[in-house]
Amino acid sequence: MTTAPIRLGTRRSALAMAQSSQVARALERVSGRSVELVQIVSEGDASRASLSQLGGTGVFATRLRDALRADECDLLVHSLKDLPTADAPGLLLAATPERADARDVVLTRDGTALADLAPGATVGTGSPRRIAQVRGENPGVEVRDLRGNVDSRMRRVRDGELDAIVLAAAGLSRLGAEIDLVAEPRDLAAWPAAAGQGSLAVETRADADAELLETLRALDDPRTRFAVIVERAILAGVEAGCHAPVGVHAVIDDDELRVRAAVYGAQPGDEVVVDRAEPLAQEYIRPQGSGKGADAASRVAHERASGIGALVAGLLLDRGAAELISPSTAS
């Protein structure tokens, strides 16, 4: 049995370090080995340009994946919503731990609801999806680009530079941030989030040793994995990048999967929405154990989830979704 420390590669931002530390502690419990955090600087961390200018899809993942392939670390922890939907050659998504709160929250100084903000009020977000959702709920507000860490973003509201900002609930929770602003959680049924939002992805090399792969399997939550495969298959099916104006959320309730997917256009009200419910056999979302049988069951579950996602993507396209996605957001 290997006793050497496991090297976990992570971005150096406070949020990345917090969620990587969370996975590291869980990994230490199941493996009995120590876990060292290896900080890696990505282009997205070094640049202050907007995500759309940086290219959006995968801007935080590329450098980390290069480090993993170069054996600078043994595994990576990503925010799943930031990962491109295409497979990364030579790498494997080995685990998706149980999902946190997938909702967005709107933060304001005084608790004014987004819909009630006065014309000309300023709302900060750098996400094309959130921009479209904000304008759809309140066409009179002005949207400002938003970068920086969570504290600096909230400071802009406290200082009066912005009237509101939109953030992911999971990030606030993982940071344990002290929030002196008023949070308005968004209902996922009306405001679907990014594909994979609230989920973490543990990635390693496809040729990693069997002991590490087996250890990582213990961190996997089958229900989370199934739901996010559906969401990412929808994103891939409409040929949209992870920063395109697409909201999607899949949730499993007993033996049924419910999906809501929306593609947004440039003008308020320009959107294509699909709601879908699919029966779901329990074997798809049951822990698979280990061995060849477990691998086969995992492949079957992956195919079922991918098929549902492709079906929903096809419905979106049939209803005109492609016309709402610009070339710059589909790359």
pLDDT, tens digit (0-9, with 9 covering 90-100), for 12-24: 999 999 999 999 9
**Whether residues 94 and 108 fall in one domain:** no
Based on the fold, state whether residues 10 and 31 are members of the same structural domain.
Answer: yes
- Here the CATH number for the domain that contains residue 322 is 3.40.190.10
The active-site residue out of 11, 63, 153, 205 is 153
CA dihedral 106, 242, 87, 77 (to 10 degrees): -30
Catalytic residue among 63, 130, 205, 260: 130
Average pLDDT, integer, range 266-280? 92
Task: Determine whether 129 is an active site residue.
Answer: yes
Residues 92 and 213 in one domain: yes
Same domain for 235 and 139, yes or no, is no
50 is a domain residue: yes
Determine which one of 99, 104, 186, 242 is catalytic.
Answer: 242
Please tell me which residue in 11, 63, 81, 186 is annotated as part of the active site: 81
- Which residue out of 147, 156, 258, 276 is catalytically annotated? 147
Within-domain flag for 172 = yes
Domain tally, the chain: 2
Question: Helix or strand or coil: residue 203?
Answer: strand
> Catalytic one among 11, 63, 99, 129?
129
For residues 91 and 225, membership in a common domain is answered with yes
pLDDT tens digit string along 203-225? 999 999 999 999 999 999 999 99
Smallest CA-to-CA distance from 107 within 42, 180, 19, 176 is with: 180
Q: Is 239 inside a domain boundary?
A: yes
**pTM of the predicted structure, to 2 decimals:** 0.90
Annotated catalytic, 116? no
Rounded Cα distance between 233 and 237, Å, is 6
Residues 124 and 248 in one domain: no
Q: pLDDT tens digit string along 146-174?
A: 988 899 999 999 999 999 999 999 999 99
Q: Active site includes 223? A: no
Give how far Cα 97 sits from Cα of 3, 22, 79, 216, 262, Å: 23, 10, 11, 10, 25
1 occurs within a structural domain: no
Asked if 213 and 265 sit in the same domain, the reply is: yes
- For 168, the domain range is 104-185
- Residue 33 among the catalytic residues: no
Instruction: Tell me if residue 130 is catalytic.
Output: yes
| Catalytic residue list contains 147 | yes
- Pick the catalytic residue from 63, 73, 74, 82: 82
Where is the domain boundary, 142, 163, 185?
Answer: 185
Active site residue 7: no
Of 185, 205, 231, which residue sits at a domain end? Answer: 185
Whole-number Å distance between alpha carbons of 78 and 212: 18
Last residue of a domain, one of 160, 185, 210: 185
